[in-house]
Amino acid sequence: MVNKQTEKYSKMLSEFKETVRNIEYLKYTLNSLIYWDKITNMPINGIEYRSQVMGYLGDELYRLLSSKQLKRCLNYFDGNKKNDDIVNGMVARIKRNHYYVEKIPKDEYREYISLIANAEQVWEKAKAKNDFKLFQPYLEKIVEKFKSFAEYWGYEENAYDALLGYYEEGVTVNEIDKMSSDLRDFIIELLNQIRQKEDYLEQDSDFIIGLETGKQKELSEWVLTEIGFNFDSGRLDEGAHPTTLACSPDDVRIVTAYNETDIRTGIFNALHEGGKGLYEQDIDKKLLGTLLAEVASFGVEESIGRFYENVLGRSKAFSTKLYDKLRELSAEVNIFDAESFYKYLNHVRPSLIRIDADELTYMLHIIIRYEIEKDLIHEKITVAELPEVWNQKYREYLGIEPDNDREGVLQDIHWAAGYFGFFPSYFLANLVAAQLAAMMEKEIGSIEELISQGCLECIHDWLAENVHKKGAVYSTSELIKKITGGAMSSEYYMEYLKKKYDKVYHL
Amino acid sequence: MVNKQTEKYSKMLSEFKETVRNIEYLKYTLNSLIYWDKITNMPINGIEYRSQVMGYLGDELYRLLSSKQLKRCLNYFDGNKKNDDIVNGMVARIKRNHYYVEKIPKDEYREYISLIANAEQVWEKAKAKNDFKLFQPYLEKIVEKFKSFAEYWGYEENAYDALLGYYEEGVTVNEIDKMSSDLRDFIIELLNQIRQKEDYLEQDSDFIIGLETGKQKELSEWVLTEIGFNFDSGRLDEGAHPTTLACSPDDVRIVTAYNETDIRTGIFNALHEGGKGLYEQDIDKKLLGTLLAEVASFGVEESIGRFYENVLGRSKAFSTKLYDKLRELSAEVNIFDAESFYKYLNHVRPSLIRIDADELTYMLHIIIRYEIEKDLIHEKITVAELPEVWNQKYREYLGIEPDNDREGVLQDIHWAAGYFGFFPSYFLANLVAAQLAAMMEKEIGSIEELISQGCLECIHDWLAENVHKKGAVYSTSELIKKITGGAMSSEYYMEYLKKKYDKVYHL
């Protein structure tokens, strides 16, 4: 009896794995390789046929995910006591890959897709014309769509939980709220302290250092090599929007962007995307074929990006390395000594545009989005009120206010593109980065010291061992629990900020 | 009754078109986009997973091509009187896409694939060690395989016809033989005449002009723009082996290679691949979705490449344009005047390596391969005799003889890679290029004059109208007949060679 069951289990398992392997081939080809080509290499007129190809392969992927064979496997393995972590992970991953689309009636989903396509174009026009009213009816429809999606997807307490869960499994509004309001007040208070400091009052935020793109490219390659990115298993290219795409752990493609007039853009893109690139390269190749050779979640991936960008990249020790390298490449950096270059990389200055924000105020931009999104979905504010609510929050939290909606509520494509429930991932990423850093320091010692001793590899190894190599076997919260033994917390992040800005501004 | 039949026809046709469209999406993605990425961008370690992906998509393509639905459509449309040229072309194309693999028993085909994989590696070793004996048993097996393939595929008169037909539908040994032996004797005679000339005796074939790769790239872009390649619908990249791959007529990717020490490599690659690129870009986009938005055959594609490389690229008028452009880029070219630069591009000098050959002797290399292949398949010679036969033919036709097999029979990967029946396409390409040129001159005037008047567009337009835009609707012979009203002929080519070398060497 037992033998027969074991036999059936292993027979079903090889069927499950074969089906999933094919899904993976299609998914990685479509979402990584073909998409990468589209944003880096495709000639401009190629878009029409390419869209058809991508539509066809997307349909094929949907067909495989909806197949009877796969459903039979899912029914058999879902909750099966014989499963190891990997099989459990596979079940969870497939359900997530498919659940959210399948729950929405096909017609309504198609309507949504076409709404988004239009909304993105209208948003672009509205931003160019600085005319929120143009975009308002579209955004209203998008908000209505997401309210109805939340009902299809289901939630226990708050409708927004359903949207949040799409990006970070099991994370809830209550959990975020517990951290975000304290953190918001903490950052505002810290910002106010910094604003009093002589160093802050004296710093010239208009001063920036530029460098020709060719040399910035060389610098980015240096940064990637320093942190341990393997160019035999990956590459670096340019594109309009920085991102990292993996065709497999052995074929990881970083897309970056440079700003000729400000070296910081290229440096922090390389560190951020490079961190994500390390994550992808370190994933255990044994997970290929299970759909688990991926990052655990958007939030965890982003946390590794933030770790390399902020914790490591803006550290005293790494900024000194950067400073030395930059002096090789450009004479202009000589106007600084290493100490003021470090401070330059860590300057705080409230600004209106999220993607230009410094490390500290960045989090306030994120919290504002989160608060607004949540209130929209929970019907506490209307779309019509958005510009006013937006401006008021910027005044209150950052002490500055946009002159127009282009620099305010219209600045990002996110809502036009249907990214509702997405900003909390950015929020969590910063907390997790600080929490990982704290755990790392407990186990292998001070990050600053490891860097100045030249052991970037120790840092990389710790992350590979504790996070990267596990791929998507565990969800965000499971992973955090495995590493820290506890839940996500904002304490490590507050501690980190206090320590950093004390060093920069002598609070 | 008639109405019902018409209704059924159009119902079947839309089913046929939908099935074929999906096959096309998969085929162009796999054979153009994914393959292109593999040879230009893929990081070295990416090969393992990429091979799996390509294997999976290849199987999918085979699955679609073998589907009952497609077979039903083929049965219905094959020979159907209602068909227009496009439907007839679709039927022929699908049959060709599938016929050759389907006719071979699966086990035998798999055996062949693994034989080839090994043979390529052994050939590489044998070439490095200059040891034909190492490769001999593999080549013997390959020849046996192709003899048995010929039986599976079927032929009327000569077994080699079956192999030839794989590349050029309906072309036969008798047809080629009729042209090739006369042409061989003609070229040998012409070569002997040239060898007597003072200009030939005085020319320094060791003299070459180099240029740094960056500038050669600029030159290649200029060449492509001059001949009419549209960079909004295509791109130029570097790779080990020059080729042209089309993801669609709006996304055509030229891969080229440069030689820092000899500018001619890059120039003629750009012209050859550029010509093929024009062909791909000009294909009528209405043919997309029918598998006919492709070149008519390898031979026709190659003929356009040869036209741009030799007829246009080595013409007096174009060489003058090239000369002027080169003077902008490099001082070294000043040692020539425009006239001697033209001669430099057209120097004749028998050499052992096919890919380094000049325009005239190139054809003798091709004819030698063809004669040997044919004799191997028809059991007139054995593989063991190959090196001797090879050397003897080089002595007889070119007046030179390799010192070793590395520079002789082992020089190309073609036979190791299973390209049996392929060299006649190269042969035809040269004839067709000259035949097209003759028709073109009859209709729109002297090519030399069109170029010197700056109307490269007139030439491009003529080819687009008469060849390119038709895609793969017609076979090679149908196409030639449509353009010239007759069959393929070697006369135009002989005429062309006589005229050219009279100009270069004053015969």
Q: pLDDT tens digits, residue range B472-488?
A: 999 888 998 998 888 88
Q: Hunting for tokens 């020319």 — which residue is that?
A: B203
- State residue B2's pLDDT score: 63
- Provide the 8-state DSSP code for A312: I
**With an 8 Å Cβ cutoff, is A247 touching chain B?**
yes
Q: Are A327 and A457 in contact (CB under 8 A)?
A: no
Residue B217, pLDDT score: 97
pLDDT at B279: 98
CB-CB neighbors (< 8 A) of A26 in chain B: 56
Query: pLDDT tens-digit profile of B485-504?
Result: 888 899 999 999 999 999 99
pLDDT at A333 over 90: no
pLDDT, position B106: 86
B461/A contact by beta carbon, under 8 A: no
Kindly tell me if the per-residue pLDDT of A2 is higher than 80.
no
Assign residue B154 a region (left: φ > 0; alpha: ψ between -120 and 50; beta: otherwise): left
Between the alpha carbon of residue A155 and those of residues A163, A343, A349, A422, B187, the distances in Å are: 9, 45, 39, 17, 82
Tokens of A365: 């931009």
Q: Tell whether B266 lies on the interface with A, counting CB pairs under 8 A.
A: no
Closest chain B C-alpha to A241 CA, distance in angstroms? 19
The closest CB to that of A232, out of B45, B231, B235, belongs to B45
Tell me if chain A has a CB within 8 Å of the CB of B67.
no
DSSP result, B268-336: HHHHHHHHHHHHHHHS-GGGTTTT-SS-S-HHHHHHHHHIIIIIITTSHHHHHHHHHHHHHH-SGGGGS
Residue B8's Cβ-count burial label (10 Å; 0-12, 13-18, 19+) is exposed
Assess A250–B contact: CB distance below 8 Å, yes or no. Answer: yes
Inter-chain CB proximity A234 and B44 less than 8 Å: no
Residue A505 to residue A484: CA distance in whole angstroms: 30
Cα–chain center distance at B78: 29
How far apart (Å, rounded) are the C-alpha atoms in residues A259 and A58? 34
Cβ distance of B46 and A250 shorter than 8 Å: yes
| A42: chain B residues, CB-CB within 8 Å | 251
C-alpha dihedral, B390 to B391 to B392 to B398, nearest 10°: 100
Stronger pLDDT, A468 or A110, i.e. the higher one: A468
From the list A25, A33, A230, which residue is nearest B37 (CB)?
Answer: A33
Instruction: Quote the minimal CA–CA distance from B47 to chain A in Å.
Output: 8
**Annotated catalytic, B273?**
yes
Cβ of residue B56 closer than 8 Å to a chain A Cβ: yes
Tell me: the pLDDT tens digits for B425-471?
999 999 999 999 999 999 999 999 999 999 999 999 999 999 999 99
- Residue A1 predicted with pLDDT over 60: no
The reply to whether A458 touches chain B by the CB within 8 Å rule is: no
Q: Is residue B1 very low, low, confident or very high in pLDDT (cuts 50, 70, 90)?
A: low
Longest dimension (CA), chain A: 80
Average pLDDT of span B350-374: 96
The CB density around residue B18, as the number of other CB atoms within 10 Å, is: 12
Q: Residues of A numbered 13-42 whose beta carbons fall under 8 angstroms of chain B's beta carbons: which are they?
A: 22, 25-26, 28-29, 33-34, 37, 41-42
- Which residues on neighbouring strands pair with residue B256, listed in sequence order? B238
- Give the one of A34, A53, A250 whose C-beta lies nearest to B48's C-beta: A250
ipTM of the complex: 0.91
Under 8 Å between Cβ of A20 and A61: no
What percent of chain B lies above the pLDDT cut of 90? Answer: 86
**Is residue A206's pLDDT more than 80?**
no
The set of long-range contacts for A130-133, using a CB threshold of 8 Å and a minimum separation of 24, is A130/A404, A130/A405, A130/A406, A130/A410, A131/A405, A132/A386, A132/A387, A132/A405, A132/A409, A132/A410
Give contacts of A24 with chain B, Cβ < 8 Å.
none
Question: Tokens representing A214?
Answer: 């060719």
Reported confidence tier of residue A111, pLDDT bands at 50, 70, 90:
very high
Q: What is the pLDDT of residues A358-369, one digit of tens each?
A: 999 999 999 999
DSSP assignment, residue A43?
Answer: -
Q: Which of B226, B273, B294, B302 is an active site residue?
A: B273
First to last CA, chain B: 71
Q: Which residues of A, range 204-243, sit inside 8 Å of B by Cβ? A: 230-235
**Beta carbons of A231 and B49 less than 8 Å apart:** no
Report the mean per-residue pLDDT for chain A.
Answer: 94
Section B266-270 average pLDDT: 97
Identify the weakest region by mean pLDDT among A226-240, B50-64, B244-258.
B50-64
Question: Is the CB of residue B280 less than 8 Å from the CB of residue B304?
Answer: no
Query: Which of A43, A53, A247 is closest, CB to CB, to B46?
Result: A247
- Interface probe for A, chosen from B18, B25, B294 (most Cβ of A below 10 Å), is B25
Q: Which positions in chain B touch A45 (Cβ < 8 Å)?
A: 230, 232-233, 250-251
Q: How far is B307 from chain A (nearest CA, A)?
A: 26
